Amino acid sequence: MVPGGDNDGAASTVITVRTRTQVPPRLVLASASPARRKLLQAAGIEPEVLVSGVDESDIQAASAEELCLELAHRKAQAVAERVLAAIVAGHLPPGDTLVLGCDSVLEFQGEVYGKPGDASEAIKRWQRMRGQWGVLHTGHCLIKGDVRAAAVASTVVHFADVTDDEIAAYVGTGEPLNVAGGFTIDGIGGAFVERIEGNAGTVIGLSLPLFRELLADLGHSITELWGQRPRLVP
């Protein structure tokens, strides 16, 4: 009961409604990958998408992990600079902006595989990979202002012992030419992957558990991004 109030013996309940006073951060995905965007959308997050345009050909690294992390950082940094310019110019309202860059590579028997250069290369790769296993590394870099959080997620991929005809047919679809390592698990190539050890999102191109951790490192919760609509960057 409320002290000092009129009542008929019935208990009174006080309900406090909390309202969000802060504007939630905007998320910009520095990637042209439809698969990464779909992963975020399936998790209740609608990112803005800006392609970085970073030249990947001149990047050298000592390991597969360092390579994908450096690529992820360069992509995120390039887009973060564009977003900052848009805010300064008044095209975007001020507020927290998070820019996520990702890059994936396949480490197989000591070699690092990005996207195959052409169909012939894709066929040769698959002839080597069939019946074997490799490690798919995805670098993640999240930038907020002048601070960043970055890490690599890795998943072991076991490939099926596919036939030459199956390889030729798969490469003929064009799918392997557009993805790191020359395969996917969320498309046609899923039939050619027997199993994985680790997070499936890492293989697709974005680890949601790792993304949540990087958000926390920058002082944000993934729940802040749920249900947002994109505010397009010019």
Span 182-206, average pLDDT: 97
pLDDT at 165 over 60: yes
CA distance 48 to 29: 6
Which is nearest to 149 in space by CA: 194, 199, 86, 98?
A: 98
- Provide CB contacts within 8 A for 185, sequence distance 6+: 157, 193, 196, 200, 203, 204
Cβ within 8 Å of residue 183, ≥6 positions away: 126, 129, 157, 159, 176, 189, 192, 193
Catalytic residues: 103
Structural domain contains residue 76: yes
Is 4 within a domain?
Answer: no
Lowest mean pLDDT among 59-68, 143-152, 170-179: 59-68
- What is the domain range of residue 160? 26-224
| CA 87 to mean position of chain CA atoms | 24
* Number of domains within the chain: 1
> Own/partner pairs for 172-179, CB < 8 Å, 24+ apart?
172/119, 176/116, 176/122, 176/126, 177/115, 177/116, 177/118, 177/119, 177/122, 178/115, 179/35, 179/115
Q: How confident is the model at residue 228 (pLDDT cuts 50, 70, 90)?
A: low
For residues 68 and 161, what is the distance between their CA atoms, to the nearest angstrom?
27
The C-alpha R_g of the chain, in whole angstroms, comes to 23
Q: Is residue 232 part of a domain?
A: no
Summarize pLDDT for 132-147 with one digit per residue, the tens: 999 999 999 999 999 9
DSSP state of 47: -
Report d(CA 206, CA 39) in Å as an integer: 7
Q: Is residue 132 part of a domain?
A: yes
Is 5 a member of any domain? Answer: no
CATH number at residue 123: 3.90.950.10
Per-residue pLDDT at 9: 45
Asked if residue 1 belongs to a domain, the reply is no
Say if 18 falls within a structural domain: no
